Amino acid sequence: RTFLQVIGRVTLITIVGSGGLFYYVAQKDRTPGEQLPHDPTKKTLVVLGSGWGATSLLQKLDTTDYNVVVISPRNYFLFTPLLPSVAVGTLSPHSIIQPTRYITRHKDRTVSVIEAAATDVDPIAQTVTFADESEIQGLISSTTLKYDYLVYAVGAETQTFNIPGVKEHACFMKELEDAEKTHTRFLDCLESAAFPGQSEEEKNRLLHMVVVGGGPTGIELSGEIHDYLEEDLRSWYPELSNNIKISLVEALPSVLPMFSKKLIDYTESTFKEANIDILTKTMVKEIKEKSIVVQGPDGVKREVPCGMVVWAAGNTLRKVTKDLIAKLPEHQTNRRGIAVDDHLRMAGTNGTVFALGDCTATSYAPTAQVAAQQGSYLARVFKQIAKRDALVYELQALENAGSLDEEKQKQKADLTKQVEKSDKVKPFKYSHQGSLAYIGSEKAIADLPFSVGNLAVGGVATYLFWRSAYLSRLFSLRNRTLVATDWVKVKLFGRDVSRE
């Protein structure tokens, strides 16, 4: 009995203790303290974007060294790896976003956060022009700001290849609104198919969901739609569940070219079991209101009726990035993106513009992993630049003081040495942590690099690893709690099928 009492007490103390700690951390997050104001003697560091690259920089940046201004059309960070889960209602949209102010308000010096899109960057005059493009605007909605340093992290947009009908009729899977729109449209197709008197042919059309692009975005989304169908829609729309069909169209000979062959085969067989049709070597040529035109390996064009198309065919540069590249024709010749050196300095800008993430043309894949590591790297670079600037300032003050005695001469030599040392900034080095993707049916695939070789695994255990990996990578306790709670809610009550 005594033993049980001890166990009971220890358990109780542990529960109360962790509850108290959780409450303390959450409250600390909610109540940011006083911040130093902007300092006119400090240099202005403008950060464009609030995605993976910019947010990772802001988290690590020592803001006492600069007057930092963040400009982005969305005032939050979006955790893109879990976006497909929002498209089927597994996760609530707010669970995977984090307001940028939740980070900047905890910094030592005030960081200005401006919800606006950069419309023009002048790398010679060192200015950025930005505009409030939201629905509601004040009397001033566009202005220009001068920067000493610019971090350019505006990401990319979805590539449409100017294929007719894509912009008009397809949903995308890039921004939060895209996932919400996909969810709504999916349910709209279901309800229209459930309308009394609908013919079998029309039901089949409305419930044919086509995903274009066999990259990780298209694969993960197809897997999530399949789960939605199996775990929820079969119960709530039993009369329609056999009409639902998912097709994945990919122009290349196989899906997921960045994964190892074993995992590609595993994904294809999992999709086959799940009745998801994979059409490889098939190019989408046009999207119409009620159909999609594809060209298969035989070269013949076919029109396939469908209710919804989600376009996940890769990335292209934003207009503002193309314009910036065009301003430096001698140095910027890569049409894939901004050319940077191995310190992420944009070629032709004399070290005043740093670019990272999906808007750059490097040897790395356009992934969150790369952008996040580049952001952390730049935070270290800016610390070193600030240190160097302070040393140069001290050196100049010494030189301006006139003739130097022996001690001052020694001090000057010492400072010069320190400046030379701080000039040597280590280049960016990417450390690949592996590739992970969810493929539906509670299975995931992982290509993990180890010193002895690559480990390629797939299945239910990998799915649990996928979940825990992304849960731990979410930037805040708040998001981790929200995502974990959503997962529990779905396990207990299923996904919602109401159309908002």
Cα separations in angstroms, 442 against 244, 436, 455, 458: 20, 13, 20, 10
Minimum CB separation of residue 302 from ligand NAI in Å reads 13
Amino acid, res. 310: V
For the chain, the maximum distance between any two Cα atoms, rounded to a whole number of angstroms, is 99
CB of 265 to ligand NAI, least distance (A): 17
Contact pick of 255, 353, 371, 474 for ligand FAD (by CB under 6 A) = 371
Size of residue set near ligand NAI by CB under 6 A: 27
Which one of the spans 87-95, 130-138, 248-256, 342-350 is the region binding ligand NAI (CB under 6 A)?
248-256
Nearer to ligand FAD, 218 or 307 (CB): 218
Residue 316 and residue 112 in contact, taking contact as beta carbons nearer than 8 Å: no
Binding segment for ligand NAI among 296-304, 331-339, 395-403, 429-437 (CB under 6 A)? 429-437
Q: Segment contacting ligand NAI (CB under 6 A): 208-216, 264-272, 298-306, 389-397? A: 208-216
Q: In this structure, what DSSP letter does residue 153 have?
A: -
Asked whether 84 and 226 are in contact (CB, 8 A), the reply is no
Integer Cα distance of 218 and 196 in angstroms: 32
Contact window for ligand NAI (CB under 6 A) among 251-259, 267-275, 346-354, 388-396: 251-259
Q: What DSSP line would sit under 384-451, residue for residue?
A: HHHHHHHHHHHHHHHHHT-S--HHHHHHHHHHHHHHHHHH-PPPP------EEEEEETTEEEEEEEET
Distance CA 296, CA 462 (A): 33
Q: In the complex with ligand NAI, which residue's Cβ is closer, 125 or 365?
A: 365
Decide if 57 contacts 375 (C-beta within 8 A): yes
- Residue from 277, 269, 274 nearest 209 by CA: 277
Segment lying near ligand FAD (by CB under 6 A), choices 195-203, 339-347, 368-376, 452-460: 368-376
Residue ranges in 136-195 that form contacts with ligand FAD under rule CB under 6 A: 153-155, 173-174
Encoded one letter per residue, x for contact with ligand FAD by CB under 6 A and - for no contact, window 35-54 reads: -------------xxxxxxx
Tell me how far apart the alpha carbons of residues 164 and 52 are, in angstroms, rounded to a whole number. Answer: 31
Indicate which of ligand NAI, ligand FAD, none lies near residue 218 (CB less than 5 to 8 Å, by partner kind). Answer: ligand NAI
Q: Is 165 in the site for ligand NAI (CB under 6 A)?
A: no
Q: Does 357 bind ligand FAD (CB under 6 A)?
A: yes
Closest CA to 78 of 86, 90, 70: 86
* CA–CA dist 369, 95 (Å, integer): 20
Which lies closer to ligand NAI via its Cβ, residue 251 or residue 484? 251
Let me know how long the chain is: 500
Q: Pick from 86, 117, 176, 344: which binds ligand FAD (CB under 6 A)? A: 117
Question: Contacting ligand NAI (CB under 6 A), which of 283, 324, 439, 456?
Answer: 283
- Strands 142-146 and 111-115 come out as unpaired
Which residues in the 192-251 window bind ligand FAD by CB under 6 A? 217
User: Token digits for 32?
Assistant: 């940011």
By the rule CB under 6 A, 247 interacts with ligand NAI: no
Site for ligand FAD in 65-94 (CB under 6 A): 71-74, 80-81, 83-84
- Interface residues with ligand FAD (CB under 6 A) are 48-54, 71-74, 80-81, 83-84, 117-118, 153-155, 173-174, 217, 318, 320, 357-358, 366-369, 371
- Interface residues with ligand NAI (CB under 6 A) are 81, 163, 212-218, 220, 249-252, 258, 283-284, 312-315, 365-367, 435-437
